Structures are given as structure tokens and as C-alpha cells.
């Protein structure tokens, strides 16, 4: 069972590595950010409740987010493993996750934390573009699509996320510092935490991550 959490500030490279990991290990990608964006696109009650928080860079309240993940992790496709990306982000979320994964006998096996300095995060987020259809990430300078504005993978339109502006990013980085960073000590204590350098090139970093994950899978 390969039960993984990816942690790190926005722009540290979690999403890009997540896409590679789920393709190689064939496990579901549970990105709370993607789930909220999907709900907003579909105009559901959840989407309406989450949109104001997200667009301003604030965290969606814990009870809403925990409920969403609880439902998702209990689904049959998570029996052979799962990749949590963007959850947990607060201590109450991490505590709820611990209880929940015990109840369903799907304990977390590794927490990979992506380290990246603030100026680089700002550079990455302000130039980030994502595909509206498949969510593939791009960057206007360092990860361009072959045809401008068009996704290489599915032909979808590339857009800039509403919360990928400097004002929202400052708020998001603040939430990361104060609410999410304390989780590193929480997972260090439980022996699950591994730090990786988010500045490493995509392919080299993926090689490093696969070494870590292959070891967890062998246990
Ligand atoms: P992300 O795509 O992970 O950067 O998430 C985008 C936005 O969704 C965040 O800035 C939050 O507003 C919201 N969000 C995603 N995951 C969580 C979470 N675990 N707790 C609270 N809010 C979240």
C-alpha cells in the first residue's frame, strides 16, 4: 500500500510531481484544491461556499475540507494507495486524518515535504498556467507548451488560476507559514517526514522520489 502525502508551499512543485507519481504507481490523486476548483466550475453548493475563500487566498474551513477528504479516502480506488496533495494543511486536519486513516486501515506511509525559497515561489506562481481540462501545469518561461495557450497533453486551453496573483499568493504563503508549516514537526515526530529540494530539476527530483516510494512500497 502506497499512502502518500505531498506537502510544501504553493509553487514548490507538488502538483507537477503528483502527476508523475500517480501515472507511475497507478494510485488516485486526491488534490483538495482540484476538488474545490471542480466544484466551483460545476456551481455546486460546495463550490459556492469555497470560492470566496479560495479566490482571496484563504483556507477553506476545516470541517468542509475534512468532510470532503473523508468521503474520498473511503472509496474503493484508495484501497491500494492514494496520493494526498494539499491536504492536510492545518493541525486539526492532520489530527482528523490520523483518526480517519486508522478507522479505514489505510495509514499514511510517507510525507514528502518540498522545500523552496520565497522569491522562487513568487516567480513560479506568477508565471504559472494550468490546463482547464486536465489540470496539467505550465510556466510562461520555464515550462512552455508547444503551442502558446494550448495544452500539449489534451489540447485544452491554458489559463491563469484566479488565486495565482501576487496579492492572493502573499496571503497563501502566510497561511502556509502559520498553519501548515507546524505540521512538519507533527510528521517528523511520527517518523514519516522526508524533505526534498523543490529547486531540483523535475526529472531528477522524480528519480529521487521514486527511490523513496519504492522503499515504502517494499515494506
Ligand atoms: P491548491 O490547489 O492546493 O493550491 O489549493 C488552492 C486553494 O484551495 C487553497 O489556497 C485553499 O483556499 C483551498 N484549499 C485546498 N486545500 C485545502 C485544505 N487542505 N484546507 C483548506 N483549504 C484548502
Mean pLDDT of the chain: 95
Tell how far CA 146 is from the center of its chain: 25
Q: What is the dihedral of CA 43, 49, 53, 58, to 10 degrees?
A: -120
| 62-73 vs 91-103: helix crossing angle, rounded to 10 | 30
In sequence order, the β-bridge partners of residue 31 are: 85
Q: Sorting pLDDT into bands at 50, 70 and 90, what band is 17?
A: very high
How far apart CA 103 and CA 69 sit, in angstroms, is 14
What is the Å distance from ligand 1's center to 178 Cα?
Answer: 15
1-10, 132-141, 204-213: the lowest-pLDDT one: 132-141
How far apart CA 169 and CA 152 sit, in angstroms, is 27
**Ligand 1: nearest atom to the Cα of 31:** 3
Instruction: Count how many Cα atoms sit within 13 Å of the Cα of residue 32 in the half-sphere of its side chain.
Output: 26
**What are the structural domains, with CATH classification, of the chain?**
2-118+165-217 (3.40.50.300)
pTM score > 0.85 for this model? yes
**pLDDT for res 219:** 85
Q: Sorting pLDDT into bands at 50, 70 and 90, what band is 140?
A: very high
pLDDT tens per residue, range 57-110: 999 999 999 999 999 999 999 999 999 999 999 999 999 999 999 999 999 999
Grid cell, residue 94, equals 492532520
What is the Å distance from ligand 1's center to 80 Cα?
Answer: 25
Does the beta carbon of 83 lie inside 6 Å of ligand 1?
no
Which protein residue's CA is at the shortest distance from atom 11 of ligand 1?
59
Amino acid at each position: 500500500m502506497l499512502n502518500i502525502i505531498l506537502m510544501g508551499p504553493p509553487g514548490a512543485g507538488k502538483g507537477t510531481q503528483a502527476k508523475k507519481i500517480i501515472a507511475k504507481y497507478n494510485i488516485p490523486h486526491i488534490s483538495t484544491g482540484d476538488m474545490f476548483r471542480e466544484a466551483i466550475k460545476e456551481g455546486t453548493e460546495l463550490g459556492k461556499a469555497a470560492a470566496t475563500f479560495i479566490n482571496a487566498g484563504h483556507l477553506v474551513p476545516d470541517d468542509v475540507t475534512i468532510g470532503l477528504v473523508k468521503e474520498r479516502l473511503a472509496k474503493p480506488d484508495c484501497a491500494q494507495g492514494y496520493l494526498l496533495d494539499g491536504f492536510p494543511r492545518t493541525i486539526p486536519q492532520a489530527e482528523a486524518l490520523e483518526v480517519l486513516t486508522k478507522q479505514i486501515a489505510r495509514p499514511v506511509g510517507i510525507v514528502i515535504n518540498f522545500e523552496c525559497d520565497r522569491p522562487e515561489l513568487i516567480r513560479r506562481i506568477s508565471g504559472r498556467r494550468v490546463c482547464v481540462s486536465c489540470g496539467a501545469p505550465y510556466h510562461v518561461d520555464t515550462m512552455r507548451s508547444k503551442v502558446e495557450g494550448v495544452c500539449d497533453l489534451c489540447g485544452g486551453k491554458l489559463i491563469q488560476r484566479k488565486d495565482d496573483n501576487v496579492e492572493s499568493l502573499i496571503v497563501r504563503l502566510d497561511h502556509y507559514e502559520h498553519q501548515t508549516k507546524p505540521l512538519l514537526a507533527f510528521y517528523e515526530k511520527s517518523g514519516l517526514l522526508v524533505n526534498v529540494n523543490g529547486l531540483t530539476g523535475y526529472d531528477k527530483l522524480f528519480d529521487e522520489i521514486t527511490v523513496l516510494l519504492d522503499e515504502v512500497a517494499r515494506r
